[in-house]
Structure 1
């Protein structure tokens, strides 16, 4: 480490001697802003939100997490956590704990459970469980971190069939503000256990490991139907009508995509707008084919990849970019699907809208997501029938134009909004205490604030905007 004072942009300086003392207590590396390795340690998936903490710890295990939290308390600095950084807000002025090195996965085949450490990504779990014909309620993108996704509720491509990922958690290990390692289950620290599952907006500790249920799913009927962009209104209308009658085993989303003219993009999809209908049916290929037939009848497809597939190939359905990109995004929840909503979407994000967005997406909710007991944990999407998510990809010179267009899109569809948001889709630009508050019902918010006060009264985990202690 450089022996000089170090300060990130907009952050607080940490004396190099103090950082050196912390480094002597940790197995993993400790970096200040002027150190070689700092930028690599702080790198996240969203390149549009650079991470500039006052200090970053590359945690190798629980002991490193404890040391980092105690150090932050001594320095009077907030703590932030980074695993993959798909939706991480800025960490300026914090002690940042990078958990990527904590990446062990253990599958208990007999119990149908997985135990993961803090830095594990969904690809690892899907592959490990798939060897035994089992499946987790993973995210659509294989590079998303398991822990952050699950703490936010966790909306899986097969969520309509089995519910939220947070519902399937059995045990959580975490280090709280006092530096103590705690275990939360339905019987041990039940209040904490309730808050952690869905309470991502009220961080009360750093989760170091998690155990959750797996399902006996080895194959699904899934893939994508791609239509030309000029059929956007027709396909959206037909998809919305189709979603009203599909069973819980049918999971689907729809997206307007504008893909770049790059060699890695299939030739029919390059350089223009297409409509992408995503399918993940948990059942037989024969029944899946029957259910999807009305969608295939809408119009000729550019590509039809819907077929029986091993669950380990589920990431191919959404085909999210695996490598870091600069993302400007926004999200919301919609209460219903109407012809007027289709008109608003096409007007602001369709082929003739002059939209700079790469993705405008709707995901169907309902099914097991709706039938679950809402008091069981802090995850709560009552009143929402669809999620809405929009993404623009571009550097700093394009950010203002993309954000302005995102504003117009979401203003255009505001009549169908529930007025609330889903924590897992709460974007870096939206991550404010007000937005977090709007993600919860008032009674849920109040209970989270009380639990926050019990475990983090000084709000040391305030490095992530969220609920303050009651």
Structure 2
């Protein structure tokens, strides 16, 4: 039984917490209680949550009770599964931790999966593989499926299969009134449109129903090239990438590897160029398409080969341990020589910068098409994304944000006004408004006004409710 420490300054008293605990199956934790730190800890250690209370939800009814409790006490509500997308501190909030909600079912007959809010992508990858299928996923298998998907979700097979949000058939969500709603394109079309790409400002999604795709193996991996070949490689990449079929998704990164024992000796402490490659086809076809880039420079390490799709994390080799990071991104309609030169001047060889990674990712293909109907995914139609990230280590933390911003400012003259939500980093609400096209932003704010007029869900990537727009409710909620 959890002890509830009491303090006169607490936003939620021990008595309040005990009353809430009587309504939920999962734990209710006040600051200082056993397990509190585990639930508030985020994968991005740059964000530290100080909520008034944590509800360790085990089902949608627990989430509903937490939301109703927050409304009664005038507190905002935040949600976290892994904290990969933690961009704002949930201070003074009711933090709903969904990591215990791990229900997962896969139907081979319908090529779909139902995932609860705490399911990690590697679990879905493994379950889908048993049916000869795969989810549209991002580059990291350790993220939560729901959070990644609601922000769009782009990864190593997106040029063939689009964004992860494009594959959502329906979802269960708890809205600001505490109601548990089953939502699809017919029942509540505006909410269905907004949540797929608009993320968590409209409620807490407790389960998703997703379409799976017929992928079992692919020809994929990464090649590490010497950093001094960066200019030749990036200029070759800008000419090569647009020639590739939709079955091939690629990215290239300027990578400054730290001198850590966990990094292989040839790469430890080095500046390298990391080419990421994923081809949905035969090894012979994949190798032929990759050959022009392999010929540009000798590889320090070539890890591309045929592999099961469950090894998709080997393509980008994203970090698996929590760390504090600062990141920003931009979108481009084309990758011209002037853009490459600007990026090299900001983060190329010989530049003294704490930016860990400056990446160019090829989009286009199916990411330009709203498979499954229109949704609020931002950046639709962009051909490339540029992403920069730095680690906020104590000795360089003060200079990392400006260095990351400077990398993006270097390509700003060619950038589109919108950007990918999952790669946007921690933005103010005014900055967040630039993520979407004006018409989509207006619709998102209208949906927000209809379902969360009091702005209960206002922490993180959430739009503000429109003051002068209301949408009709299309269906009655589940009590």
TM-score range relative to shorter protein: over 0.9
Q: Tell me the equivalent position of 2:113.
A: 114
Deviation of the 1:342 alpha carbon: 1.5
Whole-angstrom distance in 2 between the partners of 1:109 and 1:465:
34
Matched, 1:25 2:23: yes
Whole-angstrom distance in 2 between the partners of 1:182 and 1:18:
26
Q: Tell me the equivalent position of 1:210.
A: 208
Matches within 5 A, 1:9-408: 13-88=11-86, 89-200=88-199, 203-372=201-370, 376-408=374-406
- State which of 451, 462, 466 in structure 1 corresponds to 2:462: 466
Deviation of the 1:148 alpha carbon: 1.0
> Could you tell me whether the CA contact under 8 Å between 2:198 and 2:462 is conserved in 1?
no
> Could you tell me whether the CA contact under 8 Å between 1:48 and 1:396 is conserved in 2?
no
Q: Tell me the equivalent position of 1:444.
A: 440
Deviation of the 1:55 alpha carbon: 1.2
Whole-angstrom distance in 2 between the partners of 1:315 and 1:374:
26
Which consecutive residues of structure 2, in runs of 5 or more, have no partner in the other structure? 467-479
Compared CA separation, residues 314 and 373, structure 1 to 2 (3 A): closer
> Could you tell me whether the CA contact under 8 Å between 1:44 and 1:84 is conserved in 2?
yes
Report SS of the residue matched to 2:132. Answer: coil
Q: Tell me the equivalent position of 2:431.
A: 435
Whole-angstrom distance in 2 between the partners of 1:370 and 1:426:
19
Whole-angstrom distance in 1 between the partners of 2:287 and 2:460:
44
Whole-angstrom distance in 2 between the partners of 1:306 and 1:3:
54
Report SS of the residue matched to 2:441. Answer: helix
Compared CA separation, residues 374 and 171, structure 1 to 2 (3 A): closer
Deviations along 1:315-369, whole A, 9 cap, x unmatched? 1111111111111222221232111211111111112111112111111010011
Aligned length in residues = 463
Whole-angstrom distance in 2 between the partners of 1:166 and 1:436:
19
> Could you tell me whether the CA contact under 8 Å between 2:166 and 2:373 is conserved in 1?
no
Compared CA separation, residues 317 and 465, structure 1 to 2 (3 A): closer
Report SS of the residue matched to 2:386. Answer: strand
Deviations along 1:23-73, whole A, 9 cap, x unmatched? 121111111223232211101101111111111111111121011000100
Deviation of the 1:396 alpha carbon: 4.6
Q: Tell me the equivalent position of 2:474.
A: none
- State which of 414, 417, 420 in structure 1 corresponds to 2:415: 417
Deviation of the 1:383 alpha carbon: 5.0
Greater CA deviation, 390-399 or 185-194? 390-399
Q: Tell me the equivalent position of 2:471.
A: none
Q: Tell me the equivalent position of 2:476.
A: none
Deviation of the 1:398 alpha carbon: 2.6
Greater CA deviation, 257-266 or 180-189? 257-266
TM-score (norm. length: structure 1): 0.95
Deviation of the 1:275 alpha carbon: 0.3
Report SS of the residue matched to 1:287. Answer: helix
Whole-angstrom distance in 2 between the partners of 1:52 and 1:353:
38
Whole-angstrom distance in 2 between the partners of 1:92 and 1:396:
23
Deviations along 1:192-216, whole A, 9 cap, x unmatched? 111111111x611110000111111
